[in-house]
């Protein structure tokens, strides 16, 4: 007579060290093997989309800071892009370059967080996390210099940016850019050839290119599967059409590739920032002075998206001619990227579950909005 066995059901989360916020996974285990996954989210729902309907177009900028709190600058940029398209506002050239610069800095900071937590989930308790946070701190210092806040920046406004960079900003930026490649070499020495890391991440959680496209995954995860798709190249916004950069892609689509793509993207970002510093107009307005605070775009609808560190971040705005949008829908990359989670996880071990979920790098602030 066969022994009757039942799957163990474990609630990973909402409070769990490696769920990146308040996320719950209801996992059925057969021993250590995952046989079913049921993601539960909504614990961090703050109703951003509904709140946006009661705010003026400028005030919504402060709400977007709180979406993906690891990359506020790109959130600001995505929203402001949509408003500018809706109200047909032009942006001064210096502001465009500043926007590109800060969003690339934000990409570096966000990817550094990813790398740190990736190793944390693999089991290095804190070491790499601290190294990455040490360097991210420099980026945040730059943001503080620029706009007075480190995380909730609210830096951009429809038609430009709030303030010009102070002179010491450029000096510190140069210092950071000189220091960063050395850190990246350190990271690569620590991770890329490490046999244990390879054993834990190579060929784990493979996402095939076709499936990635089918489930509309974007960002580094899509690129790790080998598809060269980047909105910065495909549909250049701001000053990206004047920049010269590559799109790093992975070959295998496994967890290791997702890490490697991000590290390469940091190098590309440094490259873009250097070009920005070279070609930014030395003087000029940083904000279109014709844009009023209470902006009243003509009634219509618009969808505009940018490449945030996590993927395609899009804003769909409907205006009825008033001071607030009639509807504001956010296409958040983390939320869409979560759709591949269940099929990716099934069949792997518990330790792999943590690594695969970590390699997707979702941010719960953005998933629940």
Partner 1 sequence: MTQDYIFGFNTLYNFFFEIITNTINSTIVSWILPNFSFNPGWIAYILSALTISFLIFNAALMGAAVYTWFERRIMAKFQGRYGPNRWGPFGLLQPIADGIKSITKEDIIPTGADRVVFTIAPIVMMIPGLLVFAFIPGHINSMLGKINVGIAFVFGVTGMNTIAVIMAGWASRNKYAMFGAMRSAAMLITYEVPMALAIAGVILLSGSMSFNGIIEAQKIPFIVTQPIAFLVYMICATAEMSRAPFDMIEAESELGGGYHTEYSGMKFAILQISEFMAPIVQSALCVVLFLGGFNGPDFIPGILWISLKIVLVLFILLWTRSTWPRLRVDQIMELAWKYLLPLALLNILLIATEMTIFDITQSTSLWIMGIINWATILFILAFLSLFKNFNKKTVQQKY
Partner 2 sequence: MFGFGLLKALWVTIKNFILPSRFNAYQYPDRKLDPVSLAQKEQKNFFLFILQSPIKVLKSLMGLISNKEYVPRNPRFRGQDFKWYIERCTGCASCAKYCPLGIIEIQTSSSHDRVTEGEKYNIDVFDIDIGRCMFCGLCVEACPYDALHMGSGFEEATYSRNNLIINVETLKSAPKKPSTWFRPQLEAQGYNPQKDKEVPWNEVGRHVTLNKTEQGNRWIRKS
Applying CB under 8 A, the residues found at the interface with partner 1 are 8, 10, 16-18, 32, 119-127, 129-131, 134, 190, 194-200, 202-204, 206-208, 211, 340, 343-344, 346-354
H helix runs in the chain, sequence order = 48-52, 60-65, 72-87, 93-122, 127-147, 167-191, 195-201, 209-214, 220-224, 231-234, 255-279, 333-337, 341-345, 350-360, 364-368
Tell me the C-alpha distance between 226 and 320, whole Å.
42
Of 281, 264, 123, the C-alpha closest to 188 is: 264
The length of the chain, given as a count of residues? 369
Tokens of 36: 């079913």
Tokens of 337: 């990227």
Of 232, 292, 237, the C-alpha closest to 265 is: 232
Give the CA angle between residues 300, 305, 307 to the nearest 5°. Answer: 170
- Nearer to partner 2 by C-beta: 112 or 227? 112
Tell the smallest beta-carbon distance from residue 199 to partner 1 (Å).
Answer: 5
Tell the smallest beta-carbon distance from residue 265 to partner 1 (Å).
Answer: 22
Find the radius of gyration of the CA atoms of the chain.
21
Give the CA angle between residues 39, 42, 45 to the nearest 5°. Answer: 155
- Nearer to partner 2 by C-beta: 119 or 336? 119
- Nearer to partner 2 by C-beta: 9 or 171? 171
Tell the smallest beta-carbon distance from residue 148 to partner 2 (Å).
Answer: 4
End-to-end CA distance of the chain: 51
Per partner kind, with CB cut-offs from 5 to 8 A, the member of partner 1, partner 2, none near residue 55 is partner 2
- Nearer to partner 1 by C-beta: 37 or 61? 37
- Nearer to partner 2 by C-beta: 94 or 232? 94
Per partner kind, with CB cut-offs from 5 to 8 A, the member of partner 2, partner 1, none near residue 72 is none
Tokens of 347: 């069949």
Per partner kind, with CB cut-offs from 5 to 8 A, the member of partner 1, partner 2, none near residue 354 is partner 1
Per partner kind, with CB cut-offs from 5 to 8 A, the member of partner 2, partner 1, none near residue 154 is partner 2
Report the interface residues with partner 2, using CB under 8 A: 55, 58-59, 61-63, 65, 127, 131, 134, 137, 141, 144-149, 152, 154, 162-163, 166, 186, 189-198, 293
Tell the smallest beta-carbon distance from residue 300 to partner 2 (Å).
Answer: 24
Per partner kind, with CB cut-offs from 5 to 8 A, the member of partner 2, partner 1, none near residue 225 is none
Tell the smallest beta-carbon distance from residue 144 to partner 2 (Å).
Answer: 5
Tokens of 259: 């890490």
Per partner kind, with CB cut-offs from 5 to 8 A, the member of partner 2, partner 1, none near residue 234 is none
CB 335 within 8 A of CB 366: yes
Per partner kind, with CB cut-offs from 5 to 8 A, the member of partner 2, partner 1, none near residue 186 is partner 2
- Nearer to partner 1 by C-beta: 219 or 253? 253
């Amino acid at each position: 007579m066969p022994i009757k066995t039942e799957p163990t059901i474990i609630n990973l989360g909402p409070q769990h060290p490696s769920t990146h916020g308040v996320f719950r996974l209801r996992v059925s285990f057969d021993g250590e093997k995952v046989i079913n996954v049921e993601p539960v989210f909504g614990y961090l729902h703050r109703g951003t989309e509904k709140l946006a309907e009661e705010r003026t177009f400028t005030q919504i900028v402060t709400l977007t800071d709180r979406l993906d709190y690891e990359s506020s600058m790109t959130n600001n940029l995505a929203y402001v892009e949509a408003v500018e398209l809706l109200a047909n506002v032009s942006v001064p050239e210096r502001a465009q370059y500043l926007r590109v610069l800060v969003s690339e800095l934000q990409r570096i900071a966000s990817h550094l967080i990813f790398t740190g937590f990736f190793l944390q989930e693999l089991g290095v308790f804190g070491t790499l996390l601290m190294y990455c946070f040490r360097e991210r701190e420099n980026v945040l210092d730059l943001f503080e210099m620029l706009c007075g806040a480190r995380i909730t920046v609210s830096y951009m406004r429809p038609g430009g940016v709030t303030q010009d960079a102070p002179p010491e900003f450029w000096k510190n930026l140069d210092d950071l850019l000189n220091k960063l490649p050395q850190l990246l070499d350190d990271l690569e020495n620590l991770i890329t050839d490490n046999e244990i890391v390879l054993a834990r991440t190579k060929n784990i959680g493979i996402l095939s290119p076709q499936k990635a496209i089918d489930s509309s995954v974007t960002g580094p995860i899509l690129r790790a599967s080998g598809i060269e798709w980047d909105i910065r190249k495909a549909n250049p916004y701001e000053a990206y059409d004047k920049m010269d950069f590559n799109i790093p892609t992975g070959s295998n689509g496994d967890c290791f590739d997702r890490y490697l793509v991000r590290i390469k993207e940091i190098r590309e970002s440094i490259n873009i920032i250097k070009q920005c510093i070279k070609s930014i107009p030395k003087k000029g307005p940083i904000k279109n002075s014709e844009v009023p605070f209470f902006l009243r775009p003509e009634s219509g609808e618009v969808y505009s998206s940018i490449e945030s560190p996590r993927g395609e971040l899009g804003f769909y705005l409907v205006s009825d001619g008033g001071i607030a949008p009639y509807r504001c829908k956010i296409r958040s990359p983390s939320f869409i990227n979560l759709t591949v989670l269940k099929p990716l996880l099934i069949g792997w071990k518990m330790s792999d579950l943590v690594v695969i979920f970590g390699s997707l790098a979702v941010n719960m602030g953005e998933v629940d909005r």
